[in-house]
Structure 1
Amino acid sequence: MTTPTVAVLDYGSGNVHSAVKALEAAGAEVRLTRDRREVLEADGLLVPGVGAFGAVMDQLTAIRGDELIERRLAGGRPVLGICVGMQVMFERGIERGSDVPGLGEWPGDVTRLDAPVVPHMGWSTVRPGEGSRLFAGVEDERFYFVHSYAAQAWTLEVSPPFPQPAVTWSMHGVPFLAAVENGPLAATQFHPEKSGEAGIRLLRNWVGQLAE
């Protein structure tokens, strides 16, 4: 069996090297790249993201990463977003008084968590959505979160014959989206690359789908 290739989008976001190592541990051949051909032709694309929503969008659009993500998804090519890389898949990020357009792949806003302590930093359990493949075998594990903002509602309406997205929730003061699996687009608010063996197993589940 051919080893799946994963492009990690190199657009200036931090923490990419730990993501590369985690994907390699999960069985992928990994390339940290912004080369258009490599990004479009890889079996999977990982979009990392740390920091502010607006800054990540600026960095993405500066290398036309928004176009690359849209082209992959239009062709049914898998994309996985992590942390702010998940947040930018929504329509808007409302942060520190700014209202920044996101990629608009999913409807809804990313807003500040209404919790006694923010940021949400540490290990938390999740409640996987029905039919989740990412969480197969790690449904009861804890994952590592570092964030102050999140999508807190899921409003996408999907009609048959299209499959219903698997929407995974967690809690920090309020319920928020911990992960979404929606056709070729999947994303996690937590950091699988910082989540120990559970995170590697989750990435292995995603990499395994690329080989199908």
Structure 2
Amino acid sequence: MDAFADAWQMLLRLDLVLEEATAHLGAWTYAMIFLTVFVETGFVVTGILPSGTLLFAAAALAARGSLTLWPLFVGGTAAAFCGDQLNFGWGVLARKRLAGRGLPRGVKAGQLEAARRAFARYGPMAIVLARFVPMLRSVAPLAAGLAGMPGRTFAGYNLCGKLPWTALHVCGGYFLGSIPWFARHFAAVILAAALFPFAIAAIRALVLHFAAKRSAR
């Protein structure tokens, strides 16, 4: 619990952390942000990293002039894309080497089953949708590799998912950061960033629910 509380406190002070990093590291701050985004899904066990929250907060600081918006969008998209490509590669290797020997280390059966259900329902489009669902984000690329999805197909849907995901976080953070009240109360920006993916998932669930009810009539 202490570790969780410390991590939460650090998130609430993320603007100070990023401003200190910018002061000491300069342009290398972007590399730190992009590395976090890449690692979050590049390795399944690092899925707890708050890459979306970090991008959201960095974009809010860009509204203050501390960082620049376009590098965050381009670099964030590239880092997220490459992270999922690496994760997909782990899935391909696991399919070849671990066939019949259980799940790769760090992968929970429930998460993998949820990803498989998503593939069964949405096909390759699940790669796009999974980016917006925190619990599926780090296992969907791995599941695609394990399922034998062609590399070109995965790469195309992977890019289609990263562009809107990055745009929503970067534009959302920049918009809130440009509002004086949020600029003075940065913890509210962090809270909005933390709740952002869950809000998207909830809206998606509601849309699917009403669509199912309408088709059942």
TM score, norm. by length of structure 2: 0.26
Structure having greater relative contact order (Cα 8 Å, sep ≥ 6): 2
- Name which one, 1 or 2, has greater alpha-carbon Rg: 2
TM score, norm. by length of structure 1: 0.26
